[in-house]
Structure 1
Amino acid sequence: MTAPTLEPEPITAPTSRPAPATPPVITTDGTYAARLTHDGGSWFPERWSLDSPEPYAVPLPGSQPEEPGTEVLPMTDGRVLIHRVTDGRHVFALLYPTGPQTGEVPLGAVECGESRLTLLPPSPVGGQAYALAVGKGSTALWLVAGGAFGPEHVAEIPGRCSGGAWLDGEGRILALDRELGGRVKAVAVDLGRGGEVSPLLQIADESNDRVLLADAESGLLLIRSDAPGHDRLGWGVLGGTRPVRFPECLRLPDLAVTPFAIQPGQTLTPEGCAVALRIDGAAGSWLGVWRPSDRRLHQLAAPSGWLAGSGWWTREGALRLPYATEAVPCGVAEAEPIPPAAAPAPVAARPVPLQQAPLTGRTGVR
């Protein structure tokens, strides 16, 4: 079956609402996805294979139904990490299909008291997975899959951390949004140096500055900050000398705009990276596609049954979007590439006033 193609035409409202299930989490290489879904009553994990000519889903039900808030994360070897909460303990296991049954490899548990523990986005190292346990005054970073002896405590970070974006392709440098002293600032955590923390994004002393997405190859960062006076979407380049910019085209009144995927492969031209955004309004959810160099937001109709907020880019610039309907329980739609505008002229490096060039260099990244 040929994947449906989305017409690159601006729209003012979506054609459908997302399917009633959690959006899938997709591996960094786009080979697998995993989500928690249901069959009308019972919740269970489901793995999607995305690198085959026809995508297909494999249900991975356990011996009993899962709780609605159970987290799942795909691994690049085809297994699915599951995070369950049992009697106050955070229990982890790897699931895999074994004919009609589901195999399960226990990984151990984390006991963190009243701390809230959540999985981080997939690591560039496909066999590893991390989680944050947020306490009252500090945040514990755990390696919950890929360690030698079950879950391993990696670092204790002062402050309450959230978010999570990988800044390199080796799974060493992690960007986190840290709340400390009443303000939120993005920091870089170096896992190769025992969780050493360094400032990453500090636009103004009193602003709240978060990293939403990062592309390790180009260094493009999508950020959200209230430095302009209210929350705005902006972008910058890791190691760049120019200040963070807040494009007016990403400011849509009465709509929520959230980036969810950056086109890879644009090593020397971060301004040419295509960015996919989820647009939410009273009528539902639809798509946005934008490049920093274009200064224009293209709005697209979402495919029927789009699992809103999920998708990935090919290096060639095609946006792929998972969807599920009664007729097609596992499908991938593709948006045709939108040609970039004329390439911007190179900008010579210039001195930048303090606080306007908040993105530190790739310190510690090898």
Structure 2
Amino acid sequence: MTVCAIEITTTAAFTIAADGSYAARLAGEGEARYAERWTLAGPEPYAVPLPLAQPEEADSEVLPLADGRVLIHRRVADRHAFALLYPTGAAAGPRTGELQLGGVDAQEGVRVRLLPPSPDGAGAFALASEDTVTTVWQVAGCPFGPRPVARIPGRCSGGVWLDRAGRMLALDRELEGTTKAVAVDLARGDVSPLLQITEDSDDLLLLADPDSGLLVIRSDAPGEPRLGWGVLGSARPVRFPECLRPADAHPFAAQPGQALMPETCGVALRLPEGDIGLWRPADRHVFRLGAPAGWLGGAGLWSPQGRLHLPYATPEVPCGLVGLNLPVSPPPPVRVDPPAAAPRPVPLQQAPL
């Protein structure tokens, strides 16, 4: 929630707000790049370019907020600068407004990148990773500029939200030779274990759905890197279905609204060949579908009704969405996938909320 000296890396070419209302990307090519906002909540999607007098660098990051503004992260001299962009009306035509939010000093050996959109739609966070410590910064939604909200020993990557309030964040922490997912309470700054299948395994969290509690993980506990699934706060073992054996498949969207029903929660996967995979834990197999031409950034938005919306841009359709339905599956065969050892850390439901 999915990175020399200081570097900025793009979280995704196309990022969708947590509520699905807006999306943003860095459009253009070469030295003529600019932020672009997509409106997704209406009957048809439409794009609004947000250019400024000076083009954006190719390594800038953009992230949509629920109010329609677009956060941009730039490397400016010796700082990581953050600003909000928004369209403004003018007599001579549309213009782009810009609100500077401040910045974070660029220190040698520190990697700074935006985290996925916060579920509350108002705040935004960035991850500053060093070899021995990682800092989570709130860069939007705070009154006096960027502020640190948590410091975690070890080098962290990933970033998956665990609740709808934007308080509990999962990070993959590399510490003492292994990588384990941990839960960070951003209100208190507390860090607690989240995944530990075996003591020596690398256990990464790739996707979480707060409604159903479904977790999709990648772990080498079975002897090789495999995708598996578990349930948030449960002591049940993590499962590694045979249908998810391709370790380089990547989940990018989960079906919301499946309250307390992780087995029926749909998951969209970007497959190694570029196709789309649709899967539910109850299915025990993956439906493979071709990706639409011009699919943007491996991104998608899943409705509670089971329809996956994929953004695409082509010369003929510069702003489009295509919908895929989650197929009805036949009854699963009577077969139980071998579980891994049960996770040992304190369940997340016991963390302070």
* TM score, norm. by length of structure 2: 0.90
SS at match of 2:34: strand
What is the identity percentage for the equivalent residue pairs of Structure 1 and Structure 2? 58
| Aligned 8 A contact 1:243 1:358 in 2 | no
Could you tell me how far apart the structure 1 residues matched to 2:330 and 2:174 are?
38
Matched, 1:297 2:318: no
Q: Counterpart in 1 of 2:213?
A: 219
Could you tell me how far apart the structure 2 residues matched to 1:207 and 1:257 are?
19
Could you tell me how far apart the structure 1 residues matched to 2:266 and 2:346 are?
20
Identify if the C-alpha distance between structure 1 residues 358 and 250 changes in structure 2 by more than 3 Å, giving closer, same or farther: farther
Q: Which runs of 4+ in 1 moved over 6 A?
A: none
* TM score, norm. by length of structure 1: 0.87
Could you tell me how far apart the structure 2 residues matched to 1:102 and 1:95 are?
7
| Aligned 8 A contact 1:278 1:308 in 2 | no
Q: Counterpart in 2 of 1:184?
A: 179
The structure showing larger relative contact order (alpha-carbon pairs under 8 Å, at least 6 residues apart) is 1
Matched, 1:95 2:85: yes
Q: Counterpart in 2 of 1:123?
A: 118
Could you tell me how far apart the structure 2 residues matched to 1:359 and 1:331 are?
44
| Aligned 8 A contact 2:14 2:24 in 1 | yes
1:88: Cα distance to partner? 2.0
Q: Counterpart in 1 of 2:299?
A: 310
Root-mean-square deviation (CA, aligned residues, Å) is 2.0
Q: Unaligned 5+ residue runs, structure 2?
A: 1-11
1:167 maps to which of 162, 170, 184: 162
C-alpha offsets along residues 142-175 of structure 1, whole Å, 9 cap, x if unaligned? Answer: 0000012110111111000010111111111110
| Aligned 8 A contact 2:73 2:80 in 1 | yes
Matched, 1:364 2:345: no
> Match of 1:44, as an amino acid?
Y
Q: Counterpart in 2 of 1:139?
A: 134
Matched, 1:82 2:72: yes
1:158 maps to which of 147, 153, 159: 153
Matched, 1:149 2:144: yes
How many residues align structurally? 334
| Aligned 8 A contact 1:243 1:357 in 2 | no
Identify if the C-alpha distance between structure 1 residues 172 and 343 changes in structure 2 by more than 3 Å, giving closer, same or farther: farther
| Aligned 8 A contact 2:284 2:332 in 1 | no
SS at match of 2:187: helix
Identify if the C-alpha distance between structure 1 residues 286 and 343 changes in structure 2 by more than 3 Å, giving closer, same or farther: closer
Identify if the C-alpha distance between structure 1 residues 318 and 354 changes in structure 2 by more than 3 Å, giving closer, same or farther: closer
Could you tell me how far apart the structure 2 residues matched to 1:357 and 1:295 are?
25
1:243 maps to which of 232, 237, 248: 237
Could you tell me how far apart the structure 1 residues matched to 2:224 and 2:340 are?
22
> Match of 2:351, as an amino acid?
G
1:338: Cα distance to partner? 1.4
2:264 maps to which of 259, 266, 272: 272
Q: Counterpart in 1 of 2:3?
A: none
Could you tell me how far apart the structure 1 residues matched to 2:213 and 2:341 are?
21
> Match of 2:278, as an amino acid?
V
Identify if the C-alpha distance between structure 1 residues 353 and 229 changes in structure 2 by more than 3 Å, giving closer, same or farther: closer
SS at match of 1:76: coil
